Amino acid sequence: MGGAASIVVKDPESYPSDVSEEMETKLLAKTKIWRIFSEDLEWATLRIRTNQAPLTVGRSHENAIPLANRTTSAKHAILSFDAQTCRWAVTDVGSSTGTMVFAGGKSKTLEKETEFSLGLSCAIRFGKSIVTLVSNQLSSDAIIECTRGPLKGKAWRVPTAATLLTAGASAKCEIDLSDVEGLSKMEFQIFKYNGWFAISDVSVRSSALREDDDAQQPAKEGKKIKAGNDVGEGNNVESGDKTGESKAETSIKSAASSQKTDFVELENAQNPDEENQSIPEIVSLSQQDVEELDGAPEGAEAKYKSSREATKAEKKLSQNGIYLNGRQVRRREMNFLWTGCRIGVGVYKPAEKKVSFPAVFVFKCKLKSVK
């Protein structure tokens, strides 16, 4: 499996991570169908057409795009379409948890009631629910290129069939990161799911869990997946052996369908291209914590304090893992990619109290031809 010549790309420059304004305008004018991808969608993906605008986004099932995540407001935002510029735009309609747009390697937090224009491919964060918007003018011919680390300048094609592109500290991985200290034998997998590309952190260096994990959203038992449905239309296609899916497809779904998760914010994390990022100091016990120890048996305070500090140290170590544009993704969560996004392999350094990114990749795909 490792280092297969068929997936090594010799001309990564032919895959643009940035599109000129002129080319983008032409591609936008040709785009009639867009696709939305998210783990929080009932069927993981929706097709939307420009004549369906405006589309409401939120936690309520009354929305055109309902997101099953409690951090998303009941009516969170609106997607509108400008026929003159052929662009979708997103507007936060006063949500309580905010909206952020990821385009390329950059991100922007939106102000309330302010319209923001979108391009051919981007990700939008509604609360902690991530939605990826993709034009049908983007090709399925995609790669990831290493921009930092021992493999800098090398690129690998992302499989379009039910197979995985793996990366880790092992020669068995297509992307061999054995020269990077402190990594797992398997760090991440990239695969195509329901028509677009996604990444999953499969490392064993960190659980990358939040305190509110169990309280996030009940697991959806018997979740049905429908490939390429229109908004409010189509029939469910159940997953499982009855569909005749291959073992590779089952492996992909198993790796990607853990309990419902979202991005974990790393304080002060701006961009994985920054070598190091500061981690806040372990805080001392608050007055309330000390008062709770009054009347406790002798030695309980020291034990309690040690336990709290150990917990905080564990949380810091949990910041090992995979980052998209500087925001950590949780282990075995499926995260859909967008053109130009940065994939950082984060390693926490206890001595410096910092997260370092010894390996960084960028996701790119070819565009369909325009005359």
Span 329-355, pLDDT tens digits:
888 888 999 999 999 999 888 888 888
Three-point CA angle 60, 66, 72, nearest 5°:
65
141 near 365, Cβ under 8 Å? yes
Q: What is the CATH number of domain 13-135?
A: 2.60.200.20
342 near 272, Cβ under 8 Å? yes
Write the Ramachandran bin of 182: left for phi over 0, alpha for psi from -120 to 50, otherwise beta: left
pLDDT value for 9: 83
Q: Which helix (H) or strand (E) holds 363?
A: strand 354-367
Residue 153 tokens read as: 């300048």
pLDDT value for 352: 80
Residues above pLDDT 90, as percent of the chain: 38
Radius of gyration of the chain (CA): 22
- 5-11+139-263+329-347+359-367 against 13-135: fold identical: yes
pLDDT value for 329: 86
pLDDT value for 224: 39
Q: CA-CA distance, 95 to 77, in Å (whole number)?
A: 7
Q: CA-CA distance, 350 to 139, in Å (whole number)?
A: 42
CB-based burial label for 255 (10 Å; 0-12, 13-18, 19+): buried
Q: What is the CATH number of domain 5-11+139-263+329-347+359-367?
A: 2.60.200.20
Placement of tokens 């068995």 in the chain = 172
* pLDDT lower than 70: segments of the chain: 1-6, 206-317, 370-371
Domain boundaries, the chain: 5-11+139-263+329-347+359-367, 13-135, 280-317
pLDDT value for 163: 83
> Quick check: pTM over 0.75?
no
